[in-house]
């Protein structure tokens, strides 16, 4: 006799309504969301999620990094939990689906099980991780990173935004400085549903990405030291211009990345000039640099190339360049059993799919270091994310949530 749980499906319309309701918090004129970590908007999003979870009888725990755990009891609560989740914080001009889809897909799984009166042997948990984006506080994924032991609690609490406000201060201010220790409890399996944030699924007309791992990421702050001088009287050949040196380095790095591998990535995401006057050659320029590659040797090649080219530019330009290594997240391979649970769920549901590596970092990177983990991707229009125009089809979001439901049921087991 076929397991009746195999026929269970989520309520796609309810999932969509929840996504649209939370998107109203921090809604931007361009149709996106600005719900940066630990702002008032983030607090409102957290409060709404907690209320929804309590309405279906979940126990809520908040740890000292502000990570929220909504637990649905199992038949045997001594068993390791099966968890899912993502984040509610956004980029300053973010979309409606990045992160929040993974949180509300988990909530929809719990709502569906509660509605149908289905109990699992193991408990289930939906997690909201703090400061995944790294937009307000650097580095990214700091909440899951502290929880998984990558960073100390002191390091996590000490991260500051551009105004000098710390994560610890802001957690206390918004009421999410929890008392639970930020550390793992026993976990059987962890799944994260997410929009792809790239164009591969859409281009290949596939509905589900079975994610096998995440490419490696290195973040750097490069400071170029020049000599401030007047824009008019100072001849070009007499200047020690940090902007010119930065442009020269960037041009060479972009060329090297293109030549090395189609899988390599470089992004110059933030530029700050001091003193920041239109008619003064800057005293210094700080460049935030992001390098990525799915293979350890590829990321190491880009790392070595950066240092080699910095030396060359310093020598040629006379501009001193300081490199500060802000963050390193090595390439990740997800758990074989979790990957197979996702793939088996996709096959039983009859959805088109492909295996793939994630180009973006996710909280599952750190979760995978302490628990078996994998991810589920669904397409987003044009592969566009970190953008107010970010868009996803309701039907694709529903199908991804059905995959999550079946994978979690397989791991948590039924009575």
| Residue 6: per-residue pLDDT | 79
Beta bridge partners of residue 218, listed in sequence order: 291, 328
| Residue 90: per-residue pLDDT | 98
From 373, 410, 381, select the one nearest 85 (Cα to Cα): 373
Whole-number mean pLDDT of the chain?
96
| Residue 146: per-residue pLDDT | 98
The residues spanned by each domain of the chain are 4-215+331-412, 216-329
Tell me the mean pLDDT in the region 111-126: 97
Q: Which two tokens stand for residue 360?
A: 């973006």
Tell me the mean pLDDT in the region 372-387: 96
Q: Extract long-range pairs of 343-347: CB within 8 Å, 24+ residues apart.
A: 343/210, 344/406, 344/407, 344/410, 345/402, 345/403, 345/404, 345/405, 345/406, 345/407, 345/410, 346/208, 346/210, 346/403
Max CA separation in the chain (angstroms): 87
- Report the distance separating Cα 307 and Cα 195, nearest Å: 34
| Residue 144: per-residue pLDDT | 98
Q: Which two tokens stand for residue 401?
A: 């949530």
Provide the pLDDT confidence category of residue 96 given band limits of 50, 70 and 90. Answer: very high
Tell me the mean pLDDT in the region 384-398: 96
| Residue 1: per-residue pLDDT | 47
- pLDDT of residue 3 exceeding 80, the answer is no
| Residue 415: per-residue pLDDT | 67
- The CA radius of gyration of the chain, in Å to the nearest whole number, is 23
Q: What is the pTM of this model?
A: 0.84
| Residue 163: per-residue pLDDT | 96
Tell me the mean pLDDT in the region 184-200: 97
Buried b / exposed e over 85-108, threshold 16 CB at 10 Å, is bbbbbbbbbbbbbbbbbbbbbbbb
- pLDDT of residue 11 exceeding 90, the answer is yes
- Report the distance separating Cα 206 and Cα 85, nearest Å: 23
- Report the distance separating Cα 169 and Cα 163, nearest Å: 12
| Residue 260: per-residue pLDDT | 96
**Which percentage of the chain shows pLDDT scores above 70?**
99
| Residue 4: per-residue pLDDT | 67
Asked if residues 69 and 151 have their Cβ atoms less than 8 Å apart, the reply is no
- Four-way CATH pick for 216-329: 3.40.50.1000, 3.30.565.10, 3.30.70.360, 3.30.310.10: 3.30.70.360
Provide the pLDDT confidence category of residue 7 given band limits of 50, 70 and 90. Answer: confident
- Report the distance separating Cα 94 and Cα 388, nearest Å: 5
- pLDDT of residue 62 exceeding 90, the answer is yes
Specify the CATH architecture of the domain 4-215+331-412. 3-Layer(aba) Sandwich (3.40)
Beta bridge partners of residue 289, listed in sequence order: 220, 268
pLDDT in tens, 279-337: 999 999 999 999 999 999 999 999 999 999 999 999 999 999 999 999 898 899 999 99
Chain mean position to CA 106? 16
- Report the distance separating Cα 255 and Cα 272, nearest Å: 23
| Residue 359: per-residue pLDDT | 82
């Amino acid at each position: 006799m076929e397991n009746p749980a195999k026929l269970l499906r989520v309520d796609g319309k309810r999932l969509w309504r929840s996504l649209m309701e939370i998107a109203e918090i921090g809604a931007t004129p361009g149709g996106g969301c600005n719900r940066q970590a630990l702002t008032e908007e983030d607090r409102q999003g957290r409060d709404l999620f907690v209320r929804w979870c309590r309405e279906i009888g979940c126990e809520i725990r908040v740890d000292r990094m502000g990570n929220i755990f909504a637990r649905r009891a199992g038949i045997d609560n001594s068993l390791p939990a099966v968890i899912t989740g993502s984040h509610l914080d956004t980029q300053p001009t973010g979309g409606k689906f990045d992160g929040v889809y993974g949180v509300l897909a988990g909530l929809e799984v719990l709502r569906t099980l509660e509605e149908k009166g289905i109990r699992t042997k193991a408990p289930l948990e939906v997690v909201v991780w703090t400061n995944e984006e790294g937009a307000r506080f650097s580095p990214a994924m700091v909440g899951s990173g502290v929880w998984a032991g990558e960073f100390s609690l002191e390091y996590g609490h000490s991260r500051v935004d551009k105004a000098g406000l710390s994560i610890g201060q802001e957690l206390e201010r918004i009421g999410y400085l929890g008392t639970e220790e930020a550390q793992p409890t026993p976990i059987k399996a962890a799944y994260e549903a997410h929009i792809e944030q790239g164009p591969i699924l859409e281009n290949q007309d596939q509905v589900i990405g079975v994610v096998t791992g995440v490419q490696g990421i290195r973040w750097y702050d490069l400071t170029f030291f020049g000599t401030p001088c007047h824009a008019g009287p100072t001849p070009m050949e007499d200047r020690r211009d940090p902007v010119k040196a930065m442009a020269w380095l960037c041009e060479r790095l972009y060329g090297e990345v293109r030549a090395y591998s189609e899988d390599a990535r470089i992004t110059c995401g933030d530029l700050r000039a001091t003193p920041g006057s239109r008619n003064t050659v800057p005293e210094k320029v700080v460049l935030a640099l992001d390098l990525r590659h799915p293979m350890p040797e590829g990321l190491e090649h880009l790392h070595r190339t950066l240092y080699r080219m910095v030396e060359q530019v310093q020598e040629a330009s006379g501009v001193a360049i300081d490199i500060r290594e802000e963050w390193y997240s090595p390439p990740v391979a997800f758990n074989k059993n979790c990957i197979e649970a996702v793939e088996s769920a996709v096959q039983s549901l009859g959805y088109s799919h492909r295996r793939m590596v994630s180009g973006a970092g996710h909280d599952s990177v750190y979760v995978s270091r302490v628990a078996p983990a994998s991810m589920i991707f669904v397409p987003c229009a044009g592969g566009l994310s970190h953008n107010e125009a970010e868009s996803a089809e309701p039907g694709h979001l529903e199908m991804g949530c059905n995959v999550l439901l079946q994978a979690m049921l397989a791991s948590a087991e039924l009575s």
